[in-house]
């Protein structure tokens, strides 16, 4: 009763539009006590712009380095910390960097990073490196998961020994993994020689055009004869298939 | 010299005394040491220090009067062979070889075919490794049975010993070794079997994997195992022998082992391509051979084709046309020999006959033409070949794990293979290779090297072997070319359905038993469970028959007569039972009176039946060792054949097809849903609804071969997990299975009521 009364006294703009007839109990929410559970939040509690947040995701900027007073327009200033191939999509909250100082070589692309200069020039230098094509190409991308049926017992066996179907790696000792897909059989029909359908250099030939259909021209007499012939043949076929000896006995030939 | 002699005699005596004092009596490998008491035993080797000998020392021992291994004097034939042996290319590098061999545990050895590596290197090793002093042996593996046998024979002759004594061989279903054996040629599969019971291969001091470039399944697995064994056994030495120069791959695989390459004695080979692709490669090949015969200088021709039928056909055509050329154009005589695996050995031997002589003195020289599968590519060395005709195809096994079909398909060869074929022309003098494809096709169509067998095969027996070998981590087992995950998964699942592996992938008791048989797991399981169906005698015969080449002969000229003869044995319920009838007839006293004539009359292959007999007795020995009962249902019992058919289901329930309701004679394989036809060779008389098949043949059409009619009730009864109705999608097969399950349940109920 009491809660209904509460609802009743809400200002009209906070009342739900559909509840004119049906009164609903409001579901209460409480603010989380653990602040870290929010996922996409950049750690800096200050009012960071959306651009800053985007950069922190794309460039995996570690939290502590972003000082709250960093202007939004400035590129992020931390050294790259992604050391291996975790797909970026799962990497939304970057782990804190191991060392604040920039390494000599980029861990991702193995390229030399220019030494760190004091002041905000550092930030200017690192931004471009991570945005560079070489670096971007070296980043691993996420792949669609493998097509294998996850319920198969064979897969379960392999998984217990540490094979991951989505890893895009074959079996075998590490560093010498084998093929991923079985070899596809190709059935060869007939005795066509090797390379038929290829030109002299081994490139596929364009499909051969169909031979032109010869058009035969008939004069009126020939056309008449042909029509008669066709009719005769149709008759013969009809007889062969449908003529009944019993019937012809009673009705005579030619029916 | 005499000084030296007495010295060494003394040494030998000292040795003998020492042995008498010890316990060598129970070491069978040392038995030969006290057989000969003429004092000269081992005299030549007395001064040899293991792994410190040189080529000069070995030469002296080889030149001596007494055979250091057998203790008998050398025969005169020995010395004549010795002379030719010394001319082989490997001999020049004996010292170099010995140094590398002594220094490192693993050695990669590259020698072209004809360098003498297969026969000479093992003997070099014997003189340095002295396995007899350690009570061990030297093993040399070969991918093929025939090679293991013939090489052992050759080496026994070279060492002037009797085959089966110091030098022997061991192949599946045949062991030709004795207590004295120190040099053992064997198939790679046999060594793998031995490793199952002796994981450290402790009987061997040196293991040579010959023809490693062929990358057979067993060689690949052995390499993976040996990589682990060498860590546990620092005294074991490994030599990987390969014929092609992609040896770096082996080196890298074996932790950068040293490499020794011996040049073969080869001559340049000129290579020709066709300007345009050929429309019919068989016809083009025949024409090319005749053209060579007409226009080229003296020298034999080797033509590569794909299969038995094609080869026989081409050989006949060439012979006919060749005779015509002799009559019309006074060409030289021409002799054509087919060569393929299933050819009887004495026919295979004929390829070594010399070319026919000219028909009259001073006439055009005769020529020998060998039409071969890719046997002649690496394993067989035929001298005198000057011209090679290469259409660019070979039959290759390939396995598709998605539909579980292993098939032999005509496929383009690889570049490495093409080079190997061309090389065959340059063995005796500069030769020519005619490739029946364009240079562009060679560059763009052919893959670099042939896929190793392990990537092209069903792995279920390999996985079973590996599990038995104690390799559980199949994911990280260090293979040179690990197979695709899907292929391995299929193998694990098949073994799980066969109850060889439990749900966690552990070897079961049945799996352990099955791995003792040198058979496909399905066959082994069928054999092991046959006593439950009261027909182990019959199933054993059928298993033996399925493990040998085709018993029915069907010569092209007498097909009709052959089919009539086959019908004498036909059983309306299928081919397995027909084969059993054949075997029973063959064993009857009628047939055994003159088996050769009998087989000939009935269009049966006596060789296949003989080897089936042999296989049967070998398998029988294993069954007896495993305490499996040998039983039969009385022949008068009406369940005699039914029991056999049920027992077949116990092994082959995964190879079943059901007739399609719409199609006339179309069948659909269970679970894999492949549309198949019964092979024309089947004797199955009635329209069987459900059939079990031994083989899926992929040609222009999909055929199932060697089929027997079965009942769905049996399948549900024998393999309930595989035929779990709920796992089938809605459709014809599911409803048929449901009906069968209902029938079973009704029967069960009736039986229960009767009992009450």
Judged by CB atoms closer than 8 Å, whether chains meet at A181 and B484 is answered as yes
Chain A residues whose CB is inside 8 A of the B481 CB are: 178-179
**A residues 61..120 contacting B (CB < 8 A):** none
Q: Residue B640's pLDDT is what?
A: 93
Instruction: Write out chain A residues lying below 8 Å of B278, CB-based.
Output: 192-194, 196
CB neighbours of residue B599 within 10 Å: 21
The pLDDT value given to residue A225: 93
Contacts of B314 in chain A (CB under 8 A): none
A198 vs B441: CB contact, 8 Å cut-off?
yes
Residues of B with Cβ-Cβ distance to A189 under 8 angstroms: 700
Count CB neighbours of B341 within 10 A.
13
User: Does pLDDT of B293 surpass 80?
Assistant: yes
Residue A154 touches chain B, beta carbons under 8 Å: yes
Region B206-224: what's the mean pLDDT?
A: 93
What is the average per-residue pLDDT within B720-736?
91
* CA-based nearest distance A144→chain B, Å: 17
Q: Nearest CA to CA, how far is B505 from chain A (Å)?
A: 6
Residue range B429-451: mean pLDDT, rounded: 91
Chosen from B288, B436, B475, B697 to mutate, greatest number of chain A CBs within 10 A: B475
Q: Which of B485, B495, B699 to mutate to test the interface with A (most CBs of A within 10 A)?
A: B485
Which carries the bigger pLDDT value, residue A254 or residue B712? B712
Report the pLDDT value the prediction gives residue A34, as an integer from 0 to 100. Answer: 61
- A128 in contact with chain B, both atoms CB, cutoff 8 A: no
Which chain A residues are closer than 8 Å to B488 by Cβ?
Answer: 154, 158, 171
The rounded mean pLDDT for chain A is 69
Give residue-wise pLDDT tens across range B219-265.
Answer: 999 999 999 999 999 999 999 998 876 788 899 999 999 999 888 77
pLDDT band at A45 (very low <50, low <70, confident <90, very high): very low
What pLDDT is attached to residue B691?
A: 95
Report CB contact under 8 Å: B456, A183. yes
- Residue B425 or residue A251, greater confidence: B425
**Predicted confidence (pLDDT) per residue in B468-482, tens digit:** 999 999 999 999 999
Q: Is the pLDDT of residue B441 over 80?
A: yes
* Rg, chain B, Cα only: 29
Instruction: Tell me which chain A residue has its CA closest to the CA of residue B281.
Output: A193
**Whose CA is closest to B109, among B184, B20, B207?**
B207
- Give me the half-sphere count of Cα atoms (radius 13 Å) on the Cβ side of residue B188: 24
Q: Is A179 within 8 Å of chain B by CB?
A: yes
User: Is the pLDDT at B32 greater than 60, yes or no?
Assistant: no
Which pLDDT belongs to residue A185?
A: 79
Contacts of A155 in chain B (CB under 8 A): 485, 489
Instruction: Kindly state the average pLDDT of the residues B614-625.
Output: 93
Could you give the ipTM of this predicted complex? 0.80
Q: Tell me how close the Cα of A212 comes to any Cα of chain B, in angstroms.
A: 22
Greater pLDDT, B282 or A211: B282
Measured CA to CA, the distance from residue B517 to residue B527 in angstroms comes to: 9
| A5-15: average pLDDT | 59
Least confident segment among B38-47, B254-263, B483-492, B660-669: B38-47
Quick one: pLDDT at residue A127? 63
Question: What are residue B238's DSSP bridge partners?
Answer: B106, B207
Mean pLDDT check: name the lowest of B29-38, B148-157, B356-365, B627-636. B29-38
Q: How far is B434 from chain A (nearest CA, A)?
A: 13
Strand partners, B137: B204
Q: pLDDT tens across B641-699, in order?
A: 999 999 999 999 999 999 988 767 889 999 988 899 999 889 987 788 999 999 888 77
Q: The whole model's pTM is what?
A: 0.74
Dihedral sign (CA B135, B138, B144, B146) = negative
In sequence order, what are the beta bridge partners of B604? B552
- Contacts of B341-348 with C-beta under 8 Å, sequence gap 24+, read B341/B373, B341/B375, B342/B308, B342/B549, B342/B550, B343/B308, B344/B607, B345/B146, B348/B146
Closest residue of chain B to A184, computed from CA coordinates: B400
Distance from CA of B437 to the nearest CA of A (A): 6
Q: Name which of B283, B440, B485 is nearest A171 (Cβ-Cβ).
A: B485
How many CB pairs below 8 A link A and B? Answer: 178
How many angstroms away from the CA of B400 is the closest CA of chain A? 7
Q: What is the pLDDT of residue A241?
A: 82
Q: How many CB atoms lie within 10 A of CB B686?
A: 8
In angstroms, what CA-CA distances link A90 with A38, A40, A85, A146, B42?
15, 11, 11, 18, 73
A233-242 as b/e, with b when 16 or more CB fall inside 10 Å? Answer: eeeeeeeeee
Which of these ranges, A33-42, A85-94, B635-644, has the smallest mean pLDDT? A85-94
If you write DSSP's letter for every residue of B313-382 in order, what string do you get?
HHHHHHHHHHHHHHHHH-PPPEEEEEE-TTS-HHHHHGGGSPPPPPSSTTSPPPEEEEEE-THHHHT---
Phi, psi of B387 (to 5 degrees): -120, 135
DSSP B676-709: EEE-TT----S--SEEEEEEEEESSSEEEEEEEE
**Would the pLDDT of B216 be above 60?**
yes
Provide, as residue numbers in chain A, all residues whose Cβ is less than 8 Å from the Cβ of B439: 200, 202
User: In the predicted model, is pLDDT for residue B13 greater than 70?
Assistant: no
pLDDT score at A10: 62
Q: What is the pLDDT of residue B508?
A: 95
pLDDT at B582 over 50: yes
Residue B448 has pLDDT above 50, yes or no: yes
pLDDT greater than 90 at residue B513: yes
As a whole number of angstroms, the distance between CA B330 and CA B299 comes to: 17
Q: What residues form DSSP beta bridges with B260?
A: B109
- List the structure tokens of A51: 């651009």
Winning range, highest mean pLDDT, from A190-204, A209-223, B294-308: B294-308
φ, ψ for residue A15, nearest 5 deg:
-80, 145
Could you identify the residue written with the tokens 């004091």? Answer: A118
A34 touches chain B (CB under 8 A): no
pLDDT for A133 equals 81
The mean predicted confidence, pLDDT, of chain B is 88
Q: pLDDT at residue B603 above 70?
A: yes
- Residue in B280, B477, B505 nearest the CB of A157: B505
CA dihedral B471, B475, B476, B477 (to 10 degrees): 40
Q: Is the pLDDT of residue B17 over 50?
A: no
Other Cβ atoms within 10 Å of B315 Cβ, number: 22
Closest by CA position to B7, among listed B50, B15, B70: B15
Mean pLDDT, residues B708-717 taken together: 94
* Residue listed under structure tokens 């390969």: B242
Q: For residues B16 and B209, which has the higher predicted lDDT (pLDDT)?
A: B209
Residues of A in contact with B409 (CB under 8 A): 185-188
A-interface mutation test, from B414, B486, B506, B698, most A Cβ less than 10 A away: B486
Q: Which residue of B has its CA nearest to A163?
A: B475
Q: Render pLDDT for B401-430 as a digit per residue (tens, 0 to 9).
A: 988 888 888 899 999 899 889 988 988 889
* Predicted pLDDT of residue B144: 84
Distance of residue B407 Cα from the nearest chain A Cα, in angstroms: 9
pLDDT for residue B713 is more than 50: yes
CA distances from A226 to A24, A221, A236, A239, B442 (A): 88, 9, 15, 20, 54
Mutate to test the interface with B, among A149, A154, A174 (most CBs of B within 10 A): A154
Residue-wise pLDDT for B522-578, tens only, equals 999 999 999 999 999 999 999 999 998 889 988 878 889 999 999 999 999 999 999
Higher pLDDT, B114 or B81: B81
> Which pLDDT does position A68 carry in this prediction?
46
Residue B22 has pLDDT above 70, yes or no: no
Compare CB distances from A198 to B277, B393, B399 and report the shortest one's residue.
B277
Q: Which one-letter DSSP state was computed for residue A198?
A: B
What is the arithmetic mean of pLDDT over A186-214? Answer: 72
Which residue is associated with the tokens 């010299």?
B1
Q: Do B492 and A197 touch (CB under 8 A)?
A: no
Cβ-defined contact of A182 to B402 (cutoff 8 Å): yes
**Mean pLDDT computed over B424-446:** 90
Asked if pLDDT for residue B374 goes beyond 50, the answer is yes
What's the pLDDT score for residue A205? 66
Rg (CA), chain A: 39
What is the percentage of chain B residues whose pLDDT exceeds 90?
Answer: 58
Residue-wise pLDDT for A68-95, tens only, equals 444 444 444 444 444 444 444 444 444 4
Closest residue of chain B to A171, computed from CA coordinates: B475
B441 and A194: CB-CB below 8 Å? yes
Contact A151/B at CB under 8 A: no
């Amino acid at each position: 009763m009491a809660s209904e009364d509460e609802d009743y006294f809400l200002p009209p703009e906070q009342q739900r539009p559909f509840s004119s007839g049906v009164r609903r109990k409001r579901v209460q929410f409480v603010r989380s006590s653990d602040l870290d559970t929010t996922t996409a939040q950049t750690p800096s509690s200050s009012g960071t712009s959306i651009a800053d947040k985007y950069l922190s995701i794309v460039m995996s900027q570690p939290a502590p380095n972003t000082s709250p007073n960093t202007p939004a327009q400035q590129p992020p200033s931390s050294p790259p910390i992604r050391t291996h191939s975790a797909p970026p999509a799962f990497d939304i909250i970057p782990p804190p960097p191991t060392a604040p100082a920039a390494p000599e070589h980029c861990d991702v692309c193995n390229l030399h990073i220019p030494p760190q200069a004091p002041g905000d020039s550092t930030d200017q230098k690192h931004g471009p490196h991570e945005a560079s094509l070489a670096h971007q190409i070296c980043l691993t991308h996420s792949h669609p998961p493998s097509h294998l049926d996850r319920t198969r017992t064979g897969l379960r066996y392999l998984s217990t020994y540490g094979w991951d179907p989505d890893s895009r790696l074959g079996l075998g000792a590490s560093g010498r993994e084998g093929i991923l897909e079985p070899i596809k059989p190709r059935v060869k029909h007939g005795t066509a020689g090797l390379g038929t359908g290829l030109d002299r250099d081994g490139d596929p030939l364009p499909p051969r055009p169909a031979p032109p259909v010869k058009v035969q021209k008939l004069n009126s007499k020939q056309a008449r004869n042909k029509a008669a012939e066709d009719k005769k043949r149709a008759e013969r076929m009809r007889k062969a298939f449908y003529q009944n000896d019993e019937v012809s006995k009673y009705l005579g030939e030619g029916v | 010299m005499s000084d030296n002699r007495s010295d060494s005699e003394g040494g030998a005596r000292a040795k003998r005394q020492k042995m008498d004092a010890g316990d060598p009596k129970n070491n069978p490998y040392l038995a030969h040491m006290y057989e000969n008491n003429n004092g000269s035993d081992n005299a030549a080797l007395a001064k040899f220090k293991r792994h410190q000998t040189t080529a000069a020392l070995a030469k002296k021992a080889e030149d001596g009067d007494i055979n250091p291994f057998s203790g008998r004097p050398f025969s005169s034939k020995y010395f004549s062979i010795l002379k030719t042996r010394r001319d082989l290319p490997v001999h020049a590098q004996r010292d170099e070889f010995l140094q590398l061999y002594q220094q490192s545990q693993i050695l990669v050895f590259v020698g072209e075919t004809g360098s003498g590596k297969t026969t000479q290197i093992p003997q070099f090793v014997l003189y340095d490794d002295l396995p007899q002093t350690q009570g061990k042996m030297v093993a040399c593996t070969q991918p093929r049975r025939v090679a293991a046998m013939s090489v052992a024979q050759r080496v026994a002759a070279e060492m002037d010993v009797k085959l089966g004594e110091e030098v022997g061989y061991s192949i599946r279903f045949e062991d030709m070794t004795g207590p004295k054996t120190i040099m053992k040629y064997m198939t790679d599969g046999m060594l793998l079997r031995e490793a199952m019971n002796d994981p450290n291969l402790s009987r061997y001091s040196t293991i040579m994997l010959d023809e490693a470039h062929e990358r057979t399944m067993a060689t690949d697995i052995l390499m993976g195992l040996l990589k682990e064994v060498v860590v546990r056994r620092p005294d074991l030495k490994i030599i990987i022998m390969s014929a092609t120069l992609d040896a770096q791959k082996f080196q890298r695989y074996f932790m950068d082992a040293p490499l020794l390459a011996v040049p073969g004695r080869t001559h340049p080979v000129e290579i020709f391509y066709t300007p345009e692709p050929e429309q019919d490669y068989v016809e083009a090949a025949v024409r090319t051979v005749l053209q060579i015969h007409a226009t080229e200088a003296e020298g034999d021709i080797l033509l590569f084709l794909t299969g038995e039928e094609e080869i026989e056909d081409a050989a006949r055509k060439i012979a006919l046309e060749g005779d015509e050329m002799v009559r019309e154009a006074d060409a030289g005589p021409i002799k054509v020999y087919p060569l393929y695996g299933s050819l009887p050995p004495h026919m295979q031997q004929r390829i070594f006959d010399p070319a026919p002589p000219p028909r009259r003195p001073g006439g055009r020289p005769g020529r020998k033409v060998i039409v071969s599968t890719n046997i002649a590519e690496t394993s067989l060395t035929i001298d005198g070949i000057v011209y090679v005709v290469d259409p660019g195809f070979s039959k290759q096994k390939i396995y598709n794990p998605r539909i579980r079909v292993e098939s032999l398909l005509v496929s383009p060869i690889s570049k490495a293979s093409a080079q190997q074929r061309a090389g065959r022309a340059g063995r005796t003098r500069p030769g020519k290779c005619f490739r029946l494809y364009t240079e562009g096709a060679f560059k763009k169509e052919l893959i670099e090297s042939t896929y190793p067998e392990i990537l092209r095969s069903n792995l279920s027996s390999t996985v079973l072997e590996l599990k038995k070998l104690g390799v559980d981590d199949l994911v990280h087992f260090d293979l040179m070319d690990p197979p695709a995950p899907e292929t391995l998964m299929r193998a694990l699942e098949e073994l799980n359905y066969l109850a060889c592996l439990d749900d966690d992938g552990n070897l079961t008791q049945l799996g352990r038993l099955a791995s003792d048989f040198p058979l496909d797991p399905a066959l082994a399981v069928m054999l092991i469970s046959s006593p439950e169906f009261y027909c182990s005698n019959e199933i054993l015969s059928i298993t033996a028959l399925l493990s040998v080449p085709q018993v029915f002969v069907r010569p092209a000229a007498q097909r009709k007569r052959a089919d009539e003869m086959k019908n004498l044995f036909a059983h309306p319920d299928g081919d397995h039972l027909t084969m059993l009838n054949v075997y029973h007839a063959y064993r009857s006293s009628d047939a055994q009176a003159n088996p050769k004539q009998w087989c000939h009359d009935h269009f049966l292959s006596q060789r296949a039946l003989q080897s089936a007999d042999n296989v049967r007795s070998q398998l029988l020995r294993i069954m007896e060792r495993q305490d499996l009962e040998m039983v039969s249902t009385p022949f008068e019992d009406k369940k005699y054949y039914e029991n056999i058919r049920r027992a077949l289901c116990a092994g082959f329930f995964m190879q079943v097809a059901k007739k399609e309701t719409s199609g006339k004679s179309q069948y659909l394989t269970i679970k894999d849903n492949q549309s198949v036809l019964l092979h024309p060779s089947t004797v199955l008389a009635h329209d069987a609804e459900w059939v079990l098949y031994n083989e899926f043949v992929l040609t222009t059409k999909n055929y199932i071969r060697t089929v027997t009619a079965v009942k769905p009730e049996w399948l549900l009864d024998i393999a309930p997990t595989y035929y779990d109705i709920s796992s089938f999608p809605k459709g014809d097969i599911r409803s048929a299975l449901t009906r069968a399950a209902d029938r079973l349940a009704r029967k069960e109920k009736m039986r229960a009521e009767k009992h009450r």
